[in-house]
Amino acid sequence: MPIRPLLLCCGLLAGCAGAGPARDARPAQETALPTSPSVSGTAFAVPADHPAAVAAAAAPAPPPALPQVAGLRLGRFAGFEALLVETPLATAAVALHGGHLLSYVPAGQQDALWLSPSAKPPPAAIRGGTPVVWPYFGRQDQTGDVPSHGFVRTVRWRLLAASRADDGTLSIELAPPDYADLGLQLRMTLRIGRTLEQTLATTNTGARPVAITQALHTYFHVSDVAQVRVRGLDGLTYLDKNDGYAAHPQAGDWALDDPRDPGRSDRIYRDAPGRYVLDDPGLGRRIALDVAGSRSLVVWNPGAAAAARMDDIGEAWRGFLCLEAANAGPDVVALAPGAIHRLTQTIRVLSATGGAGD
């Protein structure tokens, strides 16, 4: 199999959210990152129904029928039509546009997620929360004129099922449009309670093998990105987009003031273990992130200079850090016909010294 270079727009520097030149900080020529020697991603064509689905996302739509589940209703959050969850354990908001998790607030805590105060209305991609990047990350392995980060961020999703467990945890299952010519099916499940569990399940519905990349592109709310630390990365190797994807060793915790390139971060950590802790002394809390079905973690914040060129971030850049549960770069997922891959992240908000909800 010939090996193609991977053209990554890691993080949001390549216009992950919104559209238009004011937000597109992608360089004129992307740096090529060599792929895995054993697998390269599938180059996808834009599904025939995708342009119409994007156009429909900007138009009013009939409200979805909701099952009778205590703690679940349809409403609006930050201007977006959303499924609203409110239980004694937590509140959450999930936009139907993009199947986009906008907010998760465990009882007694602040929101775990950051949402841009300048987020754009549909059909633009939403800046903040947890964008769903699928079936390719950035434009990795793509050869045609395809949208950055895949086909599901800028279309309307549908609710498939909802239920509530005896312990009060509320589960919802959603799906983007099923593109008949894509050969893949995506389902997303959210379990909202004392912790938040989010799973992307990808099924190869076609007759040929397919290789995908993807991410749960979570923006975590922080007091000041310059004051937080990320544990669980010491000793790993990362590929730095800001250095032409050169490989560098991580020594100690991640911090924005890394002397090698301070003030910004656009890194893919390879062979990542799947357990990380975001330490935020300013908010007096830690966020534990556990990931399954992934061997890579993307850590992204554009820093002041790049954020100034993004009209849905601007001066708000200090308020978030993206820790992205991903299959990206050399971490490519190969799916035989009928095979299913699950990417799962579990978020727990902890006090600085105690457990969840303390």
**At residue 38, does pLDDT exceed 70?**
no
Confidence class of residue 336 from pLDDT cuts 50, 70 and 90? very high
Q: How confident is the model over 178-203, as a mean pLDDT?
A: 98
* Predicted pLDDT of residue 358: 45
* Predicted pLDDT of residue 11: 41
- Choose the weakest-confidence range: 37-46, 112-121, 128-137, 285-294: 37-46
Cis check for the bond before 122: say yes or no (omega within 30 of 0).
no
Provide the token pair at 241.
């987009």
Confidence class of residue 49 from pLDDT cuts 50, 70 and 90? very high
Q: How confident is the model over 309-330, as a mean pLDDT?
A: 97
**At residue 18, does pLDDT exceed 80?**
no
% residues pLDDT > 70 (the chain): 88
* Predicted pLDDT of residue 351: 87
* Predicted pLDDT of residue 7: 37
Express each pLDDT in 258-300 by its tens digit: 999 999 999 999 999 999 999 999 999 999 999 999 999 999 9
Cα–Cα distances in Å, from 258 out to 224, 228, 263, 290, 305?
15, 12, 8, 24, 17
pTM of the model: 0.90
**At residue 230, does pLDDT exceed 70?**
yes
**What is the DSSP-derived secondary structure letter of residue 181?**
T
CA dist 220 and 324 (Å) reads 10
Q: Where are the domains positioned within the chain?
A: 6-24+32-351
Express each pLDDT in 128-150 by its tens digit: 999 999 999 999 999 989 999 99
Average pLDDT, the chain: 90
Answer positive or negative: Cα dihedral of 151, 154, 158, 159. Answer: positive
CA dist 358 and 349 (Å) reads 9
* Predicted pLDDT of residue 142: 95
Confidence class of residue 356 from pLDDT cuts 50, 70 and 90? low
Confidence class of residue 355 from pLDDT cuts 50, 70 and 90? low
Active site residue 248: no
Contact 198, 190 (CB under 8 A): yes
Active site residue 30: no
Express each pLDDT in 92-108 by its tens digit: 999 999 999 999 999 99
b or e along 91-100 (b: 16 or more beta carbons within 10 Å of the residue's beta carbon)?
bbbbbbbbbb
Confidence class of residue 17 from pLDDT cuts 50, 70 and 90? low
Confidence class of residue 22 from pLDDT cuts 50, 70 and 90? very low
Q: Return the closest-CA partner of residue 229 out of 187, 297, 286, 269.
A: 286
Q: How confident is the model over 180-187, as a mean pLDDT?
A: 97
* Predicted pLDDT of residue 352: 79
b or e along 202-216 (b: 16 or more beta carbons within 10 Å of the residue's beta carbon)?
bbbeeeeebbbbbbb
Express each pLDDT in 262-272 by its tens digit: 999 999 999 99
* Predicted pLDDT of residue 218: 98
- The CATH code for residues 6-24+32-351 is 2.70.98.10
**At residue 25, does pLDDT exceed 80?**
no
Catalytic residue chosen out of the listed positions 50, 100, 197, 324: 324
User: What's the start-to-end Cα distance of the chain, in Å?
Assistant: 53
Catalytic residue chosen out of the listed positions 50, 100, 217, 221: 217
Express each pLDDT in 246-261 by its tens digit: 999 999 999 999 999 9
Residue recorded with tokens 């914040």: 301
Residue 307, phi then psi, degrees to nearest 5: -60, -30
Residues 6+ apart with CB under 8 A from 27: none
Residue recorded with tokens 């099916």: 185
